[in-house]
Structure 1
Amino acid sequence: MYILQQRIEDMFDKKDFEVFNDTTLPGRLSLIKTNLDPKFEVLGSDLQKQLEEEYQEKFYMKIAKHQRRTKNPPPDTWLAINQDKKGYKKTPHIEFGLWPDCYFITFSLLADIRNRTAYYPILKKYQAEIIADGWGVSNDHTASLLKPAIELPAVIKHYEKVKSSDLVIGFELAVTDPIVKAGDYDELLADKFMQLSKYLVLFNQEAAQ
C-alpha cells in the first residue's frame, strides 16, 4: 500500500463535502479554496513526487480553479496529474476530486483528446485487465456515477462511435460509505490513485510508439 510521505492525520474527512452546501458561486469557491485546495496541494505534490520516483518520468499537477465560471457554482472540484506540461485536458490524465456525493479517482481520455484514435487499440489491449481489477467505467466525465467494470467493452465501443463521448476509468468512495463515516482513509485514496496511474504511463508510452 502507498504511504503518504507528507502525512496529515485524517487529512480528508466527511466535512469535505460541506463545501457543496453553499449554493452561491462566490461562497462555494471560497470554501473550496479554503477547505479543499490546501489538501489537494499536499496530496497532489506527494503523489507527483511518488510517481516521478516510481516511473522515472516527469509528471505535472493542476488544481482546478474554476476561473471561467461567472454564475453557477462548480458541481465538483479536483486536482489532475498528467505527463504534458502544456495542459492535461487534451492528454490522458488522472483526477482526484469530489462530487457532492463521493470522492472520485479517474483516468480519463476526454472527447477532444489529441490523437484520439490512437487510444482505441490500447483500450482494447488492456480491457481485460481493467475489468479484472474492478474499476468503474463511464462515457461521461461530467457525471459522478461509474458503471460496473464488466460494461467496459460497451463503453469503449461507444467512445469509438460517438465523438462527443469520453472514456473514464476509476473508483468512487461514497460519502455514505462506512469507510468515510469511520474516517482515516487518506491512504486508501492515495493507493487507488497510484494503482490507476499505471494506465496513464502505459497509454502514453504505447501511443507514442
Structure 2
Amino acid sequence: MERFTKESFAVFQVEGLEARMEAIREDVQPVFATLGQKISDYLTQKTGEIYYVHIAQHRRRTIHAPDNTWVAIGRNKRGYKMEAHFQLSLWEDRLFIWLSLIDQPKNKAKMAEYLLNHQTDIMSLPTDFVVSGSHLVSDYVALADSQSILERFVQVKKSEYQIGRMLMKEEVLATPDLSQVILETIEQLYPLWNVLETKNV
C-alpha cells in the first residue's frame, strides 16, 4: 500500500488502545512501510549510504491510545531519535513531512547553534513550509513566524524542532502521487539535513 485512505485517518477515532493499534497496523503501517522505503531508497541513491525505516510501534503505551503515529527514516539501525531524521507523521486530519530534531539528539547544542546562525538557510525554504516545537502535538506555525520556536530550541535542553510541509487530510486523499510530493519535500529539506548531520558527530 502506498496511499492513505479515509480509513487511514479514521483509525484515530477507534476507541481503546488495542483496537486502535490494530487499526493502525492494518490501515496505516503498510503505507508507512511503502513510503518509508521509497524515502530510504531515494536517500541511499543520493548519498550511497544505507538508511533505515523505523515505524512507530507505541509499545510503551499501556492505557491511552496514540493520537498520532509516524515513520522515521535515518542512518542509525538501532533508532532515529539520536540524530536529525526525516519523518512522516499522521494525525486524524493531517500529514506532516518533517525534518525532525526530537528527544535531545546527540550534539543538539551544535545543531541548534547552526540553525540560529544560519537562519537564511531556513528562510530560503518554500514559504508554505511549517515549523513545530513538539512531535507530541499537531500545532505548528508558518515558517515566517517560527523564530520563537528556534530560540526555544537553542535555549531549552528538552525542546524540539521540526520543519517541513503539512498536508490536510483532504489534500492527501486528493493527491494522485503522494510519494512524489513527499520526495520533493525531502529533496528540499536535504541540504539542511546534510549540514545538521555534519554537526552530529
Deviation at 1:11, TM superposition (A): 1.8
Deviation at 1:127, TM superposition (A): 2.2
Moved more, 189-198 or 58-67: 189-198
SS of equivalent residue, structure 1 residue 172:
strand
Question: Match of 1:143, as an amino acid?
Answer: V
How many corresponding residue pairs? 198
Moved more, 87-96 or 151-160: 151-160
Structure 1 residues not aligned, in runs of 5+: 1-7
Question: Match of 1:142, as an amino acid?
Answer: L
TM-score (norm 2): 0.89
CA RMSD of aligned residues (A): 1.9
1:13, 1:183 within 8 Å by CA — same for their partners in 2? no
1:111, 1:163 within 8 Å by CA — same for their partners in 2? no
Question: Match of 2:189, as an amino acid?
Answer: L
Match of 2:154 in 1: 160
Deviation per CA, 1:148-168, whole angstroms, max 9, x where unpaired? 111333222111212221111
Question: Match of 1:64, as an amino acid?
Answer: A
Moved more, 187-196 or 61-70: 187-196
Match of 1:3 in 2: none
How many angstroms apart in 2 are the aligned matches of 1:201 and 1:58?
Answer: 14
Structure 2 residues not aligned, in runs of 5+: none
How many angstroms apart in 1 are the aligned matches of 2:87 and 2:184?
Answer: 13
1:110 and 2:102 matched: yes
Deviation per CA, 1:5-43, whole angstroms, max 9, x where unpaired? xxx6x7223332011110211111001111111111111
Deviation at 1:111, TM superposition (A): 4.1
SS of equivalent residue, structure 1 residue 130:
helix
Moved more, 181-190 or 81-90: 181-190
Deviation at 1:125, TM superposition (A): 4.3
Match of 1:33 in 2: 25
Which of structures 1 and 2 has the larger relative contact order (alpha carbons within 8 angstroms, sep 6+)? 1
